[in-house]
Amino acid sequence: MTGWKSVYKVYLTGWKPVLLFMTIDDIIKKIAHLQDTANRKYFPESIFESYRSNKYLLYRRPDTNVFFTAITVFTLNNIKEKLSLESQKLVEQITEKAVKSYDLFKNKDGLNTYNFFQTNPSKHFPHGNILHRFNHFKIPDDIDDTAMIYLTKPHSQEDAKWLQNKLIQHSNNHKQSIKNTFPAYRNLKAYSTWFGKNMYIEFDACALSNMIYCQLYFGLALDEHGQDSIKYIQQSILSNQYIEMPFKVAHQYARTPLIIYHVMRLMNKFHIPELEICRAKLEKDILYYLKKEDISIYDRILLEIVAPPAPRGGASTPLWDSKAPPLGVGGQFFIAGLLTAYENPILYKLSSSPLFHIKWTCEAHSLALLAEWMVATSKTQIDFQ
């Protein structure tokens, strides 16, 4: 934060800058600044910086991906109408710049699906020493990146219908069957996370929520595969599996607050009767987590964004005190489990260990979540005095 005096309001105590407060306009300006000043040695024009790491392996690398740029743009556009005219224009500029970079991540054969990493040539796990050398770690296009790009770059309804048909080819029990899920879900015809021809089938409640959001956004009726995807989300919530075993419910996110955030974001945008029966439980679980003393600031923000409105006259609990930092870059929104592809029971059991997880962080997206939280809670500024 040091040096960003035009955005962060600071005073000097000796030589140390001290943050006083931030407005939502400050945050949007900071995000625009991050987009314009990313280290171009590692990040193409208009791509936000993000980093992958594993603290147990003393591993940290700059990571060139489209995911965090797309979800940052998606988050900002979801709140754009609640921002000042100045910030609305900045969000439009951020979006316009980001969209120009998307083709770097488009399907290698020109199809309308997208990859986490750059394609043609593949630049999987870039800027490292080992993983990029092996095709084993080369990943196919996925529904998460594809959904977010469809939602932030103009696409026609015909494009969305094509995508819906494409998803069928990679759904469970179409050509392959899922192994690493709960026995009750193995017959569901839900969408897999991956588009790869020979890729294993995987269910992820957060990625499925994003793809269902995408289809409903384009006005499509859900087919049996979309309906089974909703059933997977519904049953993992009602069964409490999303609390007891979040990694198995959502491999790429692996935390209950993140699952709640994605599912409630979908439900708060679209009326889905099959998910509405989960609302009371989700709201109860949100309040349970918000009362936990050890909840992180990051997870608290995620939950307060989608929490039901507080009772009129009810006392509010401060999100943080003067000793706690804002969201910053420490929040983990996305992970990769290095062993989730293996169907061997022993290896899959080990796959839930953090030792085998690569975690991603992105300052711009963290700040976008902070802006989303301020809109959701009607905060005009964050004070640090």
**Cα(298)–Cα(333) distance, rounded to whole angstroms?**
9
Q: What DSSP string runs through 65-110?
A: -SHHHHHHHHHHHHHGGGS-HHHHHHHHHHHHHHHTTGGGGB-TTS
Report yes or no on 275 lying in a domain.
Answer: yes
* 203 close to 192: Cβ distance less than 8 angstroms: yes
Burial of 165 (0-12, 13-18, 19+ CB in 10 A): exposed
Tell me which residue range forms the domain holding 91.
Answer: 9-383
Structure tokens at 67: 């995911």
Beta bridge partners of 194: 142
- pLDDT, residue 320, reads 47
Instruction: Tell me the HSE value of 185 on the side-chain side, using a 13 A CA sphere.
Output: 30
- pLDDT, residue 127, reads 75
Q: Which of 262, 162, 142, 268 is nearest to 218 (CA)?
A: 162
Report yes or no on 337 lying in a domain.
Answer: yes
Report yes or no on 157 lying in a domain.
Answer: yes
Q: 3-state class of 163 per DSSP? A: helix
Q: What DSSP string runs through 228-246?
A: HHHHHHHHHHHTSHHHH-H
Which segments within 256-315 are labelled E, that is strand? none
Phi-psi region of 95 (alpha: psi -120 to 50; beta: other; left: phi over 0): alpha
Instruction: Tell me the HSE value of 326 on the side-chain side, using a 13 A CA sphere.
Output: 26
Report yes or no on 43 lying in a domain.
Answer: yes
**Cα(212)–Cα(327) distance, rounded to whole angstroms?**
28
- pLDDT, residue 55, reads 84
* 250 close to 337: Cβ distance less than 8 angstroms: no
**Cα(35)–Cα(39) distance, rounded to whole angstroms?**
10
Angle, to 10 degrees, between the axis of helix 205-217 and the axis of helix 157-168? 140
- pLDDT, residue 132, reads 58
- pLDDT, residue 197, reads 81
Structure tokens at 268: 């708060």
Give the C-alpha distances (Å, rounded to integers) separating 161 from 43, 221, 271, 283: 32, 10, 21, 33
**Cα(193)–Cα(201) distance, rounded to whole angstroms?**
7
**Cα(349)–Cα(341) distance, rounded to whole angstroms?**
12
Report yes or no on 158 lying in a domain.
Answer: yes
* 362 close to 66: Cβ distance less than 8 angstroms: no
**Cα(297)–Cα(301) distance, rounded to whole angstroms?**
6
Mean pLDDT by 10 residues, the chain (385 residues): 40 48 92 96 96 86 96 98 98 98 96 95 73 66 98 97 97 94 97 90 97 98 98 98 96 95 98 98 96 90 90 46 45 75 67 75 94 92 66
- pLDDT, residue 237, reads 98
Compute φ and ψ for 171, nearest 5 degrees: -85, 165
Give the Cα-Cα-Cα angle 28, 34, 37 (nearest 5 degrees): 140
**Residue given tokens 């094509």 in the structure block:** 162
Residues in Cβ contact with 337 at an 8 Å cutoff, skipping those fewer than 6 apart: 247, 251, 252, 254, 351, 352, 356, 357
**What is the total count of domains within the chain?**
1
Compute φ and ψ for 131, nearest 5 degrees: -60, -35
- pLDDT, residue 130, reads 62
Instruction: Tell me the HSE value of 89 on the side-chain side, using a 13 A CA sphere.
Output: 3
- pLDDT, residue 280, reads 97
Buried b (16+ CB within 10 A) or exposed e, 169-179: ebbbeeeeebe
- pLDDT, residue 108, reads 93
Give the Cα-Cα-Cα angle 247, 71, 338 (nearest 5 degrees): 35
Report yes or no on 1 lying in a domain.
Answer: no
